[in-house]
Structure formats: structure tokens, C-alpha cells
Structure 1
Amino acid sequence: MTLQQLLRSADTSLDETVALLSDLVRIASVNGGPEGPGNESEVARLLAAKLAADGVASQLLEARPNRGNLVARLDGGSAPSLLYMGHTDVVPAEDAELWRYPPFAGTVAEGYVHGRGAADCKALVACETMALLILARQHVPLAGSLILAAGADEETGGQHGFAWLARHHPEAIRADCAINEGGGSPFFVGGRKGYLINTGEKGRLEASLRLDGKGGHAATPWAADNPIERLPELLMGLRRHQIVPDLSHPIFEVTSEVFQSSLTRLLQVDFGDLSRSERGLVSALRGASRMTITPTMLLGGVKSNSIPASCSVVCDVRTLPGQTAADVMAEIRAALGKVESVQIELQETAEPSESPYPTPFSQAIERATAAAVEQPDLLWIPGLTSGFSDSRLVRPLGTTVYGFAPQSADPDALTPEGIHGRDECMPIESLRVTLRMLVALAWDMLVAH
């Protein structure tokens, strides 16, 4: 079996991959909010049935009822092992009436698969499942083992998913190398194409900023101290605060060499003025350059005719590798300046983490991607995932993990949309590219040549 034969098998399996993704989207495995507590076991059972139809055994490992993780493997020899990883839970769809297509219908239209989870992260899970099945169907002899792990609960931290697997079933998911969500955005410079490969991810904390005052009746505001009136000062302090950029990540050195342009310009240019092909790279640069503190929720008051004694602003905080809660506290205090009576509480959700780069694994990804998109001279830039993922839970097992699910390298191609928002969808062309890359990566790493 040659690489070209495997790639042709991937191409002929594209319709099957689209159908699998559509089926996965139809399962409302919503994690959090009023719509449900995960229900990832139903996704795992669908995947298990798909694998079993081709004689591939799998395990359903549940941290608790309906919070299921699926693990399957093709055993090989003593060569380095490869883990395909992804998650099966999704965020709430909120008001389904506002979507172009129903969020849990799995509609295939206009070159996309539409629905909640189509891009985050069921597309990757579908491609990984199909890549493993292609190798199984072709009876490709493996020199190293290939493992598929579809985990629960990523959207709220992974405690019922990869964190639980790493604690209770480490032998099921331990591998030398792993591929996960988080990277794969293309960029274009000087007529050449390139990709971002994410080598690590930022940490996450939740900051609650409570303004205290004195409650009272809304009809006599002079007798109270309304903390809501101080909210604008607090919010403007956060908005105006300039966090000093940290340009120590390898992305900045490589970007300077590739683009031969000012990093300052790339970091300060108005994001709305960028072309679609530029936004992925500039967003990655900004995310890798600084801590972010973003207000996301306002809490205060219980009745319209009562002045509350306190109100709160909840912020999403993303930290760079090496930054601590003390660094976050220092930035928040600097931003708030002279705002009075503010109580700050921090809760850590995920620690930052990263894998070494470059490595033989990253070089195998580069070769596999070049084969997948038929472009031998691709440019490569290491990135940092702004959001947390399950990669941080697998790295302590000794696994080198990169976030990489490549989109099409055509600058006019459709791109994923609506992740964590309305009208989420995944381009079918990007499914094709990701599937081809995964098959080529397994062939490069696990098949004796």
C-alpha cells in the first residue's frame, strides 16, 4: 500500500466522512447551560457502532452515566505511537430560532456541514475516525500503534473526559505523539502558502470583580450607595489598560523571518481592516503576545425597585505559559487603578502548557500536510492556542501534543464559521484536507517504508 493509494482512499471516503459528521451533529451533546449535561455517551456509541461495522473494537469508558469517552486502537509494533484525539461535547446553541439552519439537524448545504459542534470539534473526530477506518479497511501493517480517543467534557474543563482518562485509564490513551484541535489556519505571503501549527495553549482563569455599596429603595437613591453606577469606571479601566506584549514565543521570531515586516504593525493594525487570509495569523500573534482580560458577564440586582448592595463583573482571563494568578491579580489592580471598593476573586480553570518544537513529530506533520495539499514548499509558523483544550491533560503522560487540523490552503476557500456562536459550520473542503493529512501522518509515522 502506497501513500498515494491511501490518499485516494481518503478522497473516495469524503462523502462518508460528511455523513458521519452530520450524524454526530444530530446528537445534542450539549455541555452546560439549561440544554443538558453532556450526553457524550450517545456520541461514543455511534462511533463504536461505526468502528464495529468494520471489525474495529472500542471501549466506552464513562466517568459517570452519560459522560462517555470512546477509545479504539490499531495495535502495531514498537515504533512511536500516535494518538488521534478530539472532544464530543458542544456548547449550548442558545436561541435555535436565530440560526440559518437548525443547530442539531446536521444540514449539508452550500459546501458546509451546518450545526453546533460541526467545527468544534466533531469535524476532527469524524476525520480521525475515518482515517483509522481507512487504515483498517486497507489492512495496512503498522510498525507503531494508532489510538483514537474521543473525549467528553472538554468545554467545561475535561474532568469527565481526558482528565478522568489520564487519572483512571492512562494506559488507554498514552502515546508518544498526539494530534488535537487548535491549529491549522492557513496564511499566505509572497505567493506562498503556509500553516500555523499550535505547540501549546494559554491558561484560563475566571476573575470575579465585585463592587460593594449600600443597598436601598430605588425611590430614595440618595440614601443608598449604588455600586452599579461605578460599573462604567471599572469597565473603562479594563478597556483602556495596555498589557505589555511578551514576544518570547517562537511564533514571533519565525513570523519576522517569514514576513520580513514589523511585528508592531501586525500587532496593532485594526483587525477589521485585515483581509480574511490575514486574520488567522494576526489573531494568533495577538493571542501569543499577551494576557487577555475580557469582561463577559454582569451580575447585579434582584428587583427593579431595589438598589443592590453589590454587583459583579465576571471576566475571562487567558494567560501565557509561565504566567501565574499573581500576574493576573497585578494586571487587574493596575487596570482598575482608583476604582473603590472592588473585591477580586480568581478561579483557575486550566493551566497553560506547551510541547517542544521543532521535533521529529512536527516534521512528520509538515510532510503529511505537504502530501495532503500537494504543496511541497509550505511555510510553517508555531502558534499558541488562545483557548484551552484537552492537550494540557495529555502532555503530563509524556506525550508531545500539537493542535493541528488543517483547513484548505486555497485563499478563496470557505472557512469554518460560528464556533461558539450562531450558524456554526464546517467546510467540506477542509474535511477533505484534514482527512488526507491524518491518513498521510499515520502512513509517515506508523507504516514501515
Structure 2
Amino acid sequence: MKDWKELVLEEIDKNQEELIQLCSKLLQFTNENPPGDSRPISQFIMNYLKESGISTTVHPGNETMLNLVSTLGNPGDKHLLYCGHTDVVPAGDLSRWEIPPFSGLIKDGYINGRGASDMKGGVAGLLFTVALFARLGIPLAGQLSLLLVADEETGGEFGVPWVLDQGLITGTAALIAEPSSRLNPTIGQKGSCWFEFTVKGVPGHGSLSPLNGDSAIVKACKGIQALQKLWELKPNIPEEEQRIIDITQKYIREREPKDLSDIIDHVSVNIGTIQGGTKVNMVADGCTVQVDSRVPFGLDYTEVLAEANRLLREAGIETEAKPFGFYGNANWTSDKDEIVDLVVKNIAKVTQEDAYGVLQWASSDARYFRMHGIPVLQYGPAELSGIHSFNERVPIQNLIESAKVYALTALEYLGTTK
């Protein structure tokens, strides 16, 4: 049989300038979400794939958010999904960028711009790999599908969950090119429990407070303080999940400038927004607080919500915490699963360094694949410190390494017919 793996690695090295320029061009699209108009970048992607003879099916999540599916190979026992999102978070204050955020400037070993790490670098790697497979005519024994969604950064309502829930595509494994450590793919995430509570007060003239009126803001502050005790909830972590938690905590202690390792097995509590009062000289008659809480293995998000309500009552706050937005339990794909094992082995092969999977303290689209019974993990090129910040960029070496990992993993997972 032809050594397709060696040929692909040679071709990636030979054509790496194409990959670099592709990433740069993707970064020149100003498809911030919100508002989330993916039509121009989607057309560019379809044109790029068409040049390699690849057709694309468009599944509009709404009028401006286009989800793209392109498939190579032959129907068989295995179907690998390459997944990425094309939207990026807003660039913010442009004056605080040293390099314009939509320039795609290539400089000093990096490609610069909003979304370079999250995740147009990863998208470029997937696109380039699929196009290369088509041009080389690699006879895949199974199917390889590229799924690029337009909505992730604002919750993904019209992205991955929309596509999967409608049965527009399925697979036996998935690889998401989300940013990760160079040597450590993300194989699981904590759960989420977003909730809000509203406190009522009695209005009055501000000059008479606190002797007259009952400030909803002051009462809400008591509730906020009480909710900090969510951190003290003790999870009942199963043995297998405890093993990967221990690995992840060691990874965090070794790599983070500050010891954040306790976040993996505790409930996090972030008071995200506070909205209350009418004007400065009135005692506030209402206040709404929104809380972002992340849930470790060994706890159900409903348990966190119930404890939040208990803590509020204990603090004398007569209200109910209600879930909204993100909520769900911690989830992972075992490091013993075939797709995880292959990605880790190929990272080690490409980088010539030790690699292993870890958990993530945030959430991602990976949870939706797991809900549909599809083993999934995340691996993508990134400078992690710059994600969602000013002066975001992606290392070119990491970009090329990631493309090699994507290609080798697909070849080994799907196999070839000759």
C-alpha cells in the first residue's frame, strides 16, 4: 500500500505557505459575533474548496449564519467529523491593538488578528487538510466531513446543536479545532449552571436611606455574598473521572503562572451582571443579578441551582434563582477512546514531545457531540494568553503542526483502500 502518511507530511511542508496565506485571508473577514454575518467568509471558504474539486452543502441557521458541510471518502463503518466555527468575538477598542485586528498580518513567526487562535487558525488547518486530501486523491476507506458553523461565540444556537439536532450530519468521531495547549488536547469540560435572581425592594427618596425605603440592591448584595459558598459544595467524583482530574490539576500547576488547579473540582461562581435601581436619588425597588457557575464532575447542575436557592433563603432573600443560557453537566471523552488515543499519539509524533489529554474549566461545542453519542476532543493552534484579548495571534509553527496532526489522525482513523 502507498505510504499516504509520509506523502501527506511532505506535501504539508511543501505547501505550508498556502496554509499560512489561507489563515491570513480568513482573518481579514470582519465577521464578529454579534452580529454574526458569516456570508462573506462562507463564500470565500466554498470558493477555496471548489478549487480542489470539493462541493459544499449549505445549511442556513438563519438568514446570515451559514453552516457548511463538505464530505470526502466513502461510506463505511467510520465517519470522522472535522469541526470549527467561523465567527469571532468583537475586536473591541481598535486603538488598543498594536496590529489592526483584521489585517491578518504575518510577522515574526505569527499571524495576527481577531480570531487567530479562536479559531481561524484551526479552521485554516482543517480547510487546508481537506483540500490537500482531495488534490492528492487519497482513497479514504471511510468518510471525512468538514463541518464549519457560523455561530459559537454567543452560545451557538444556530451552530453545532442546530445542525446535530436536525440530523443534518452525524459521525463516529469528531475533532474540533478549538484552541488548546500545543501538547494537550482538551478531552472534557466542566458543566455549566447559569442562573439569575431578582430582588424586590421598596422605593423611597434617596436622601432618607437607610431610614426610609428598602434597597433591592443592598439586599441583592447580601445574596451575592451568600452565593460565594457554592465553592464549598463537595462533588462525589467517580474514580475514572478523578484520574483525569488529577492529571489535569498537575498539568495546571506546571503550566499556569498562578495555581488555578482547584477550579477543576470545585463549583466556580462569577457574578456577571448586576442591573438595579432607577436613578441615583431613589431607593432601588428592583435588582437582577446574573451568575455564571461552572459545575465539576460529581455534581449535577440542578444540585448547584438548588444550593443557590438554599443559600439565598438562608440570607433572608425571598426570591428564586432561575436557570438561563448555558446549563448542563460535566462531560468528557475517555483518553482510552480511539480518536483521543490517535490524536495524542500523532501530537507526540509531530512535535517529538510527550502529549496527553486534559480537562477544560470552560465549556464548548464538544458537549453537543457527546449528547449525540459522538466521541470528540479539541485540538487547535493557539497562543492561549491572547484569546478574546487585544493583539490576538497564532504561532505559525503550531499552525503547521496542527495540520499534520489533523491529517495523520484522519488517515489512521479512516484508513485507505490502496
Asked if Structure 1 and Structure 2 have the same fold, meaning a TM-score greater than 0.5 normalized by the shorter chain, the answer is yes
Amino acid across the alignment from 2:284: P
Shift of 1:16: 2.0
Q: How many residues align?
A: 411
Q: Which residue in 1 is equivalent to 2:184?
A: 196
Whole-Å Cα distance in 1 between the matches of residues 149 and 289 of structure 2? 32
Whole-Å Cα distance in 2 between the matches of residues 335 and 113 of structure 1? 48
Counterpart mapping for 1:418-429 below 5 A:
418-429=386-397
Counterpart mapping for 1:57-136 below 5 A:
57-136=55-134
Whole-Å Cα distance in 1 between the matches of residues 185 and 414 of structure 2? 21
Match of 1:440 among 379, 383, 408: 408
* Deviation digits for residues 345-377 of structure 1 (CA, Å, limit 9, x no counterpart): 2225242333344122222222322222134xx
Match of 2:171 among 150, 157, 175: 175
* Deviation digits for residues 230-258 of structure 1 (CA, Å, limit 9, x no counterpart): 455444434465324545474642575x7
Q: Does 1:327 align with 2:329?
A: no
Flag the 1:372–1:297 CA change in 2: closer, same or farther, 3 A: same
Q: Does 1:359 align with 2:337?
A: yes
> Do the aligned partners of 1:157 and 1:350 also contact (CA within 8 Å) in 2?
no
* Deviation digits for residues 56-109 of structure 1 (CA, Å, limit 9, x no counterpart): 111222122111011111122525221100111222222222222222222333
Q: Which residue in 2 is equivalent to 1:17?
A: 19
What secondary structure, in the 3-state scheme, does the structure 1 residue paired with 2:278 have?
Answer: coil
> Do the aligned partners of 1:11 and 1:436 also contact (CA within 8 Å) in 2?
no
Whole-Å Cα distance in 2 between the matches of residues 287 and 14 of structure 1? 38
Match of 2:363 among 366, 385, 388: 388
Q: Does 1:288 align with 2:244?
A: no
> Do the aligned partners of 1:417 and 1:423 also contact (CA within 8 Å) in 2?
no
Flag the 1:157–1:232 CA change in 2: closer, same or farther, 3 A: closer
Shift of 1:288: 3.2
Amino acid across the alignment from 1:243: E
Match of 2:294 among 283, 297, 318: 318
Amino acid across the alignment from 1:227: A
Whole-Å Cα distance in 1 between the matches of residues 226 and 154 of structure 2? 29
Flag the 1:395–1:126 CA change in 2: closer, same or farther, 3 A: same
Superposition TM-score, scaled by structure 2 size = 0.87
Question: What are the ranges of 5 or more consecutive residues in structure 1 without an aligned counterpart?
Answer: 187-194, 408-414
Greater shift after overlay, 46-55 or 242-251? 242-251
Flag the 1:422–1:311 CA change in 2: closer, same or farther, 3 A: farther
* Deviation digits for residues 41-69 of structure 1 (CA, Å, limit 9, x no counterpart): 32221111111111111122212211101
> Do the aligned partners of 1:372 and 1:440 also contact (CA within 8 Å) in 2?
no
Flag the 1:251–1:345 CA change in 2: closer, same or farther, 3 A: closer
Greater shift after overlay, 230-239 or 201-210? 230-239
Shift of 1:127: 0.6
What secondary structure, in the 3-state scheme, does the structure 1 residue paired with 2:324 have?
Answer: strand
User: What is the CA RMSD across the aligned residues, in angstroms?
Assistant: 2.9
Whole-Å Cα distance in 2 between the matches of residues 235 and 396 of structure 1? 32
Flag the 1:183–1:64 CA change in 2: closer, same or farther, 3 A: closer
Shift of 1:202: 2.6
Q: Which residue in 2 is equivalent to 1:185?
A: 181
Flag the 1:158–1:130 CA change in 2: closer, same or farther, 3 A: same
Whole-Å Cα distance in 1 between the matches of residues 114 and 158 of structure 2? 20
Amino acid across the alignment from 2:292: D
Q: Does 1:278 align with 2:255?
A: yes
Flag the 1:64–1:153 CA change in 2: closer, same or farther, 3 A: same
Superposition TM-score, scaled by structure 1 size = 0.82
Shift of 1:20: 1.8
Whole-Å Cα distance in 1 between the matches of residues 25 and 366 of structure 2? 25
Q: Which residue in 1 is equivalent to 2:197?
A: 209
> Do the aligned partners of 1:119 and 1:417 also contact (CA within 8 Å) in 2?
no
Q: Which residue in 1 is equivalent to 2:212?
A: 223
What secondary structure, in the 3-state scheme, does the structure 1 residue paired with 2:139 have?
Answer: coil
Shift of 1:326: 2.8
Counterpart mapping for 1:345-356 below 5 A:
345-352=322-329, 353-356=331-334
* Structure 1 segments of 4+ aligned residues over 6 angstroms from their partners: none
State the identity %.
25
* Deviation digits for residues 9-62 of structure 1 (CA, Å, limit 9, x no counterpart): 222333222222222222222223xxx2x1123222111111111111112221
Amino acid across the alignment from 1:300: G
